[in-house]
Amino acid sequence: MTEIVRVPLREWTGSTLSADARDDALHALEAAKILFFPQLPYSVERIELLRANTLAAGSKNLSYDSATGRLRSAELAAPVREAVKSALERYCTSARSLVLGLFPRYAAGLIVGRTSFRPAEIAGRESSWRKDDTRLHVDSFPSTPVQGKRILRVFSNVNPEGEPRAWRSGEPFEDVAKKFVPDIPPLAHGVSLLLACLKITKQRRTAYDHYMLKLHDRMKSDAQYQSRVPASAFEFPAGTSWMVYTDQVSHAAMRGSCAFEQTFYIPVEAMESPESSPLRILERLTHARLAS
């Protein structure tokens, strides 16, 4: 079960932590622990208004691309739109300075992915099993092949009523993989090329992406697995932040509303312990190269 490691950081620049403490944090993160920052709030002015307005416009999850400045959500009135965009842009900058300040070695090859604002309550939300994040899963995105790269995410609970964000976490990645991988047929020849040609995927879907997508789907669609696998529950209080490799740590979000999230992609080669990555674990289990 996933360990939570508390990091006593008070600023969004990881560099204020001692070098030893940063090393410890890096080891913990790459060993599939969750780094929890109990004293690191992300502050957003008039968050209640942002939540009310975005939900009224039908947006449960607003996704922002800092590279293009594009906010995905057409329905927002201009002033709300600008406020959300600036909060997302600032979150992106903060999360980036947190990650790079704590782990300068990740600067080589770090790719800044999407930033999101999640105003909606998770509990009781209707969704297909595949999109249901209350089921334990590891992250994998169908249209964004990572080709072996890691998915590192930073979250902040900004709930204005002081409600926690409740998560659960399941078994270690290697156990998940050993359970499901033997029954996953290999990526069919030609499929990845076809998906890329049809622009269904942004890059080529590698065998690694194939296994990760199947793991995500098989975990979520297996009701017996969901109810029987040992899991631990924990709550991230309002006004706190956390960071985790969500491609490796089996997780589920159960309850809470109003969070910010930033996604990063990190090449396995930039890690201190590449052998602990899902790519290397899956390669050991399948006796194949999966991302070349």
Ligand X SMILES: O=C(O)CCC(=O)C(=O)O
Q: Which positions touch ligand X (CB under 6 A)?
A: 118, 133, 139, 155, 165, 246, 251, 253, 259
| Other beta carbons less than 10 A from residue 273's beta carbon | 12
Which partner, ligand X, Fe ion, none, binds residue 165 by CB below 5 to 8 Å per kind? ligand X
Shortest Cβ 176–ligand X spacing (Å): 15
Which partner, Fe ion, ligand X, none, binds residue 281 by CB below 5 to 8 Å per kind? none
Q: Which is nearer to ligand X, 112 or 285 (CB)?
A: 112
Strands 34-37 and 4-6 turn out to be parallel
Residue of this chain nearest to Fe ion (CB atom): 139
- Kindly tell me the burial class for residue 126, based on how many C-beta atoms sit within 10 Å of its own C-beta (0-12, 13-18, 19 or more): exposed
C-alpha 230, offset from chain centre:
21
How many residues make contact with Fe ion (CB under 5 A)? 1
Please tell me whether residue 139 binds Fe ion under the rule CB under 5 A.
yes
Q: Which is nearer to ligand X, 253 or 290 (CB)?
A: 253
Helix (H) or strand (E) holding 219: helix 207-221
Shortest Cβ 282–ligand X spacing (Å): 19
Binding segment for Fe ion (CB under 5 A), chosen from 134-142, 172-180, 195-203, 222-230, is: 134-142
Q: Which is nearer to ligand X, 22 or 114 (CB)?
A: 114
Residues 6+ apart with CB under 8 A from 105: 26, 270, 272
| Other beta carbons less than 10 A from residue 193's beta carbon | 11
Strands 251-255 and 241-245 turn out to be unpaired
Cα–Cα nearest to 138, from 179, 111, 171: 171
Binding segment for Fe ion (CB under 5 A), chosen from 11-19, 55-63, 138-146, 203-211, is: 138-146
Please tell me whether residue 283 binds Fe ion under the rule CB under 5 A.
no
